[in-house]
Amino acid sequence: MSYEEVILDHWRHPRNKGRLSQPDAAAVEANPLCGDVVRIELKTAEGKVAEARFEGEGCAISQAASSLLTELIQGKSVAEAAALTDEDLLRALGGVVRTRLSCALLPLRALRKALAGLREGTPPG
């Protein structure tokens, strides 16, 4: 049995969970078929991700991936955060079974949507 330790750890002790009072960017992605929902919020300063938060509901993999993702991007430049690939996140998670890739990558979709909003100057959704 058993998920990777990283996944279990982030699932049991989520980091950066909650909302920001005035995010500069935010977006929600959902997988309606299984009910996973993830919201990613960012505060930026001087071209950097000053703070990242997530909120969500769903399976251990999607929630652990969200928590881990906020850690990965915190302090990075906005450009670096935008350049984060699927493989980067999957590797950081210690690998994810192929039947569950859409769960693991849900927060990354939310992050990309939030960053696109930031670029286009649309107010955080």
Binding site for another protein (CB under 8 A): 1-3, 8, 11, 33-36, 58-61, 97, 99-100, 103
Of 83 and 97, the one with the shorter C-beta distance to another protein is 97
CA 29/CA 65 separation, integer angstroms: 13
- The minimum distance between CB 65 and another protein, in angstroms, equals 13
CA 115/CA 119 separation, integer angstroms: 6
User: H/E element holding 36?
Assistant: strand 36-45
Of 98 and 120, the one with the shorter C-beta distance to another protein is 98
Contact of 110 with 38, CB cutoff 8 Å: yes
Of 58 and 124, the one with the shorter C-beta distance to another protein is 58
